[in-house]
Amino acid sequence: MTAALAAAAGAVGFSHSTLASPTQANSAVNLAALSLDNGSMSGITTARIQARQLATRDSSRVQLAGNDTNKKQAAAAQLAKARAAKLTATQALTSKRASALAKAKAAADAAEKKARESATRCEIMLTGYHITATFGQGGSRWARNHTGLDFAAPVGTTVRSVMKGVVIFADWAGAYGRQVQVRHEDGTVTWYNHMSKFSVSVGETVYAGDQVGAVGMTGNTTGPHMHFEVHPDGGEAIDPAPWLRDHCGLNP
C-alpha cells in the first residue's frame, strides 16, 4: 500500500490492524482513493480502482456461493448417512424377524412330526360314511355273526390307518376282498377290507391318518363299504366300537 493511499485509508477511518484480509485491505484502499479523488487522479487510475472494487465484490460472492455449496453438500451427506443407518437398522430387524420365524416354523414342524409319529395318536379311518352293520350282528349276508363295523361310503373314498403301525398283510383275502392288516405297537392288528385298491405294501410303516387303500366292493359285499376289524395281539376279533372309544377317543 503506498504512503498516499495508506494515509487516505487512515483519513477515512481504517486502521491497518482492522483490515483482516487482503480483500478487506483492497476495499479500504479503493474507497479511500475514491473519497480523496479531487480530480487530480487520472481517469485510468479511477477505472482501475473501480475495476478492483468489482473484482473484490465478485470474489466475495464466489466465496459466499462456495460456502453455501459446502453447507448443502454437508447436509446431503448427513441425510445420506441417516438414510443408510435407517436402512441398515431395517435390514437387521427384517433378518431378526426372518430368523425368529424360521425357528418358530422349525419348532412347529418338529412338534407336528412328533405328534404325527406318536404311537397313541388316532384318526378316524374315513370320512363321509355311515355305519351299515355292527359287531355281532346276524343275518343271511354272513356265514356267522358279523365280526366288525361296516363303514359305507362311495367307491374310491380314502381309507386311512387308525394308528401308527407296520403293514403285515396287503393282498386278496377271499370273502374279505382286498385286505390290509396293520400291526400297532401294542400288538393289536387292525383289518381294512373290501377295498378297491391298496396304497401300501408289506413292511411299510404307516402313521395315524396315512392312506392304506380306498373303499371298494371286492369280496363278499352287496355295496361299497370298508369292513373294519380289531384283533388284540393278532387273536380273535373284538367289537371295534368300544375299542375305538377307549383307545382313540373316537365314536364312529
Q: Please state the three-class secondary structure of 159-218 as a single string.
A: EECCCCEEEEEEEECHHHCEEEEEEECCCCEEEEEEEEEECCCCCCEECCCCEEEEEECC
Helices 43-116 and 22-35: crossing angle in degrees, nearest 10, is 150
- Which helix (H) or strand (E) is 75 found in, with range? helix 43-116
Q: Is 54 helix (H, G, I), strand (E, B) or coil?
A: helix
Cell numbers placing 25: 485491505
- 169, β-bridge pairs: 181
Q: Where are the domains of the chain?
A: 46-119, 130-248
Chain segment 99-156, per-residue pLDDT in tens:
898 888 888 877 777 767 777 899 999 999 999 999 988 665 655 688 999 999 999 9
CATH fold of the domain at 130-248: Glucose Permease (Domain IIA) (2.70.70)
Q: What percent of the chain has pLDDT over 90?
A: 48
Please give the average per-residue pLDDT across 233-250, as a whole number.
94
Grid cell 373316537 is found at 250
**Total-model pTM:** 0.59
Chain segment 52-111, per-residue pLDDT in tens:
777 777 777 777 777 888 888 888 888 898 999 988 899 888 888 898 988 888 888 777
Contacts of 16 (CB under 8 A, 6+ apart): 6
Give the separation between CA 120 and CA 130, rounded to whole angstroms.
25
pLDDT at residue 5 tops 50:
no
